[in-house]
Amino acid sequence: MRTIILVLLSLAISCEVSLAQQLNRFCIGERRCPIGSHTLYPCGSDADTIAEELCTVRLGGGQTKVLPHQLRKDGMKAGKRCGYAWYSVSCMKN
């Protein structure tokens, strides 16, 4: 019985953690992101600025709030002009 309770408690905690964040993926590069259907931003774009934009929520009265977030560079590939870099950003929901 204790094992079942511990398993259920563990599942509840992991579900709460997964619901507490939103994962976004994006790519900065030349034409098409080489790893699939990521949103593509042009060469020279700033990953930190994009992460902040993706983690911004709109509040009442025209106000906005940038949620705490974690940005991770997942990979990169050389190209003709600027190459490609792809990222994941986790936005923590309050």
Q: What is the pTM of this model?
A: 0.72
Residue 80 has pLDDT above 80, yes or no: yes
Q: How far apart are CA 51 and CA 29, in angstroms?
A: 16
pLDDT at site 31: 85
* Rounded Cα distance, 50 and 58, in Å: 16
The pLDDT tens digits for 7-25 are: 333 433 333 444 457 899 9
Give the neighbor-by-neighbor strand order of the sheet with 84-92.
39-42, 21-29, 84-92, 69-77
Burial class (CB in 10 A: 0-12, 13-18, 19+), 26: buried
What are the domain boundaries of the chain? 21-92
Give dist(CA 84, CA 71) in Å, integer: 16
